[in-house]
Structure 1
Amino acid sequence: MNVFKQLYTSIYSPKTISTFRFQGIGKTILYVFILSLLSTIPTGYHFSTGLSEGIKGFDQTLQNELPDFIIEDGLLSADTEKPIEIKVDDFIIILDESGAFGVEEIEAKQNAIGILSDRFVFSANGQAQSYEYSLLNMSITKQDLTEITSQFNQLLPIVLTILFVVMYLFGAFVKFIEVTFLALLGLAIKNSLQRKLNFKQVWVMAAYSTTLATVFFFIMDSLQVIVPSGFIINWFVHLIVIYLVLKEVPPIKKKIKEA
């Protein structure tokens, strides 16, 4: 059975998952990498789209709508008396030297770029990254930032590719940790059910047992639907599936002593 058919059957069939315990570890590792890719695609897509649209909108707004400003000695000085907030499509751009806005306020905007009093903040899908001006050790004007943004737009495809690869590798690392921890819990469950299995077999079944929750959150993330208590639901489903899978494994046969 190829890995894609395994993925499909692992969504609904604990009995089929139990038969995978005899397969090689290499194929299972490949399967975990595929699950990792599946869970990374929605986040990577929405983040890349948000970043791309934000940078393009920021470039246009920077040139045409924001007043002159300068970043010097780690602080912003702008030709305005109050914070400026401009909405470009689904993105918000904020210029604020007063300190009224912070990282949390920019993050709450979901998709936003903030040129704040002491730092630059970028938020995509509610995930913010901030960079303090003091790290620059140089002065930057509006014109300088315009040139930097234009150059960054040209490198954007390369930057997005690198970011996606990094996200995927991190996601794969987390998925392997998740599968290993589930396998450890599976050892305790198989002992209570009196199933004769080694750790390798339990690890293989644990990998396939994560399929249902992974596919569910793939769909939810693709639709940008926030699942309340997602972490708890994820592990609850994992435990239910691994339990059902281990129950499908034939129990240890007890030897009958001769009289």
Structure 2
Amino acid sequence: MNVFKQLFISIYSPKAISTFRFQGIGKSILFVFILSLLSTIPSWFHLTNELKEASKGVNQTLTEDFPSFSIEDGKLITDTNHPVEINRNEFTFILDGTGTYGVEEIEEKNNAIGILEDQFVFVTNGQAQAYEYSLLNISLTKEDLVDLSKQFNQLLPIIMTVLIILMFLFSAFVKFIEVTILALFGKAINNSLQRNLNFSKIWIISAYASTLATFFFFIMDLLQVIVPGGFLLNWFVHIFVLYLTLKEIPQTKNPLKVS
């Protein structure tokens, strides 16, 4: 049975999962990588769209909406005596040389880019990062930032490729740890149910037992639905499916031989 058919069956059939214990560990490792890729897709999809929209918005805002400005000696110098706030593509862009806006005000915008009196502020999902001009030791004009924005757009495919690879590797690292911890729970369940399985077989079963919760959160993340108590729900489903799977395995005739 190929891994994609196993992926589908593992969503609903603990009995089928129990039969996978006879396969090699290599195929199970491949399966964990596939689950890792699956869990990465929603983040990759949303991040790609957000970066594209933000990049497009920055370029349009700089060229069409912001007045001329420059950053010199750690301060913003503008041709206007009031803040400029532009909302575009679910992003807020702010140019403020008056000191009206601070980090907290920008953070309230949820997704925003602020060129303030003495610092850049970037906010994504309500989390702000601020960079003071004096520490960056830069001198820039509006035209310089327009050029930088265009260069960023050209490099965006490369940047996204690197980010996708890093996200996948991190997701795979987390998934392998998750499966290993689940297998430790499985070892205790195995002994309790008096099933004669060694740890490698329990690890294989654990990899497939994690499919249902992984697929559920894949759908929720794709739809950007926040699941209350998601962490606890994830582990409850993992352990419950693993328990049902181990119950499908015949009980050992001699409990003393349980490893």
Same fold, judged at TM 0.5 (above)? yes
CA distance in 1, matches of 2:36, 2:71: 41
**Equivalent residue of 1:184, what SS?**
helix
* Aligned equivalent of 1:230: 230
Corresponding residue for residue 100 of structure 1 = 101
Partners in 1 of 2:209 and 2:57 — Cα distance?
43
CA contact (8 A) 1:46 1:125 kept: no
Structure 2 portions without partners, runs of 5+: none
2:13 matched to 1:9? no
Q: Secondary structure at the match of 1:145?
A: helix
Counterparts of 2:70 and 2:176, CA distance in 1: 46
2:240 alignment partner, SS class: helix
By how many angstroms is 1:100 displaced? 3.0
2:56 aligned partner: 56
> Could you tell me how far apart the structure 2 residues matched to 1:105 and 1:227 are?
28
Question: Is the CA contact 1:96–1:117 (under 8 Å) kept in the aligned structure 2?
Answer: yes
The letter of the residue matching 1:144 is D
Tell me the residue number matched to 1:162.
162
Q: Comparing 3-12 with 71-80, which one deviates more in the overlay? A: 71-80
TM-score normalised to structure 2 length: 0.88
> Residues 117-144 of structure 1, C-alpha deviation per residue, up to 9 Å, x if partnerless?
4543444555665555455332122221
Residue 46 of structure 1 is matched in structure 2 by 46
Shift of 1:179: 0.9
> Alpha-carbon deviation of 1:91?
2.3
| Residue 151 (structure 2) aligns with | 151
In the aligned structure 1, how far is the partner of 2:198 from the partner of 2:75? 60
| 1:219 to partner: Cα distance | 0.8
One-letter amino acid matched to 1:169: L
Q: Structure 1 pair 232/146, CA: closer, same or farther in 2 (3 Å)?
A: same
**What is the aligned residue count?**
254
Q: Distance in 1 between matches of 2:127 and 2:183?
A: 31
Structure 1 length as normaliser, TM-score?
A: 0.88
Paired residues for 1:62-101 under 5 Å: 62-97=62-97, 98=99, 100-101=101-102
Q: CA deviation at 1:7?
A: 0.4
The equivalent residue for 1:23 is 23
Q: Counterparts of 2:247 and 2:117 in 1: how far apart (Å)?
A: 60
Question: CA offset at residue 238 of structure 1?
Answer: 0.9
Given the superposition, is the C-alpha separation of residues 39 and 64 from structure 1 closer, same or farther in structure 2, using an over 3 Å criterion? same
Report deviation, 1:147.
0.7
1:200-229: CA deviations, max 9, x gaps?
111111111111011111111111111122
Q: Using the alignment, how far apart are the partners of 2:195 and 2:118 within structure 1?
A: 60
- Equivalent pair of 1:50/1:124 in contact (CA under 8 Å): no
Instruction: Please state whether the residue corresponding to 1:213 is helix, strand or coil.
Output: helix
Give deviations 1:78-101, integer Å, cap 9, x for gaps. Answer: 444444321113222123452734
Match of 1:193 in 2: 193
Which range moves more in the overlay, 220-229 or 204-213? 220-229
How far apart are the structure 1 equivalents of 2:169 and 2:100? Answer: 37
Task: Let me know the Cα RMSD of the aligned residues.
Answer: 2.3
